[in-house]
């Protein structure tokens, strides 16, 4: 299981919000655009943004009970509430979109491991990706120093070694 905090891509959350607002107001109306902009900012910037969006969606759901898109949107935001701490992540200057991860997958993984005819087992693939990540992130020198210190072993020459003076390779 990977460590770290999960964050639902803000763009995907915005898509659900957009569909719900389109069901309530119609996608081309000025009211839709105004509410989408306002609630999008609330979702992104307010620490209680998800709860406020859920509250607004619940009010529309009560007003338009037959519009299943609103029911689905409420369920979606409730189910993924814990994965939408956008205001806090932005305050920490962390990404709230998946673009960074998708770009890393393309440049780090796909360009190296998915070439024609390549097959990798996990240990070999991981070794290649680790090395590639060091190189692409300008951390190779530091990582190599750590590895060298970890795996460096003293080597002793045998005592009774006779030097071969005058020995030349013959081709």
The token pair that represents 35 in the structure block: 């509410």
The token pair that represents 29 in the structure block: 């109306």
| Integer Cα distance of 33 and 27 in angstroms | 8
CB atoms within 10 A of CB 20: 28
DSSP string, 114-167: SSTT----HHHHHHHHHHHHHHHTT-HHHHHHHHHHHH-------SS----TT-
Has residue 171 got a pLDDT over 80? no
The string of pLDDT tens digits covering residues 77-129 is: 999 999 999 999 999 998 898 887 788 788 778 877 888 888 888 888 888 88
- Position 2 scores a pLDDT of 62
Mean pLDDT of 141-166: 80
Using a 10 angstrom Cβ sphere, with 0-12 exposed, 13-18 middle and 19 or more buried, the burial of residue 9 is: middle
CB atoms within 10 A of CB 115: 8
Domain ranges of the chain: 10-91, 99-141
- Position 132 scores a pLDDT of 85
Please give the share of the chain, as a percent, with pLDDT higher than 90: 49
The token pair that represents 171 in the structure block: 């081709």
How high does pLDDT run on average in the chain? 88
Give the lowest-confidence range in 16-20, 57-61, 102-106.
102-106
155 pLDDT tier (thresholds 50, 70, 90) = confident
The string of pLDDT tens digits covering residues 116-148 is: 888 888 888 888 888 888 888 888 898 888 888
């Amino acid at each position: 299981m990977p460590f770290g905090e999960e964050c639902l891509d803000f763009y995907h959350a915005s898509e659900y919000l957009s569909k719900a607002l389109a069901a309530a107001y119609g996608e081309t109306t000025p009211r839709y655009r105004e509410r989408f902009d306002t609630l999008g900012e609330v979702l992104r910037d307010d620490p209680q943004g998800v709860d406020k969006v859920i509250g607004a969606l619940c009010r529309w759901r009560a007003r338009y009970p037959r519009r299943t898109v609103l029911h689905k949107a409420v369920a979606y935001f409730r189910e993924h509430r814990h994965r939408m701490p956008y205001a806090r992540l932005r305050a920490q200057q962390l990404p709230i979109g998946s673009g960074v991860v998708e770009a890393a997958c393309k440049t780090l993984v796909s360009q190296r491991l998915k070439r024609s005819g390549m097959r990798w087992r996990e240990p070999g693939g991981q070794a290649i990706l680790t090395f590639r990540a060091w190189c692409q992130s300008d951390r190779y020198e530091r990582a190599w120093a750590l590895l060298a210190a970890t795996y460096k072993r003293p080597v002793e020459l045998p005592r009774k070694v006779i030097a071969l003076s005058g020995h030349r390779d013959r081709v």
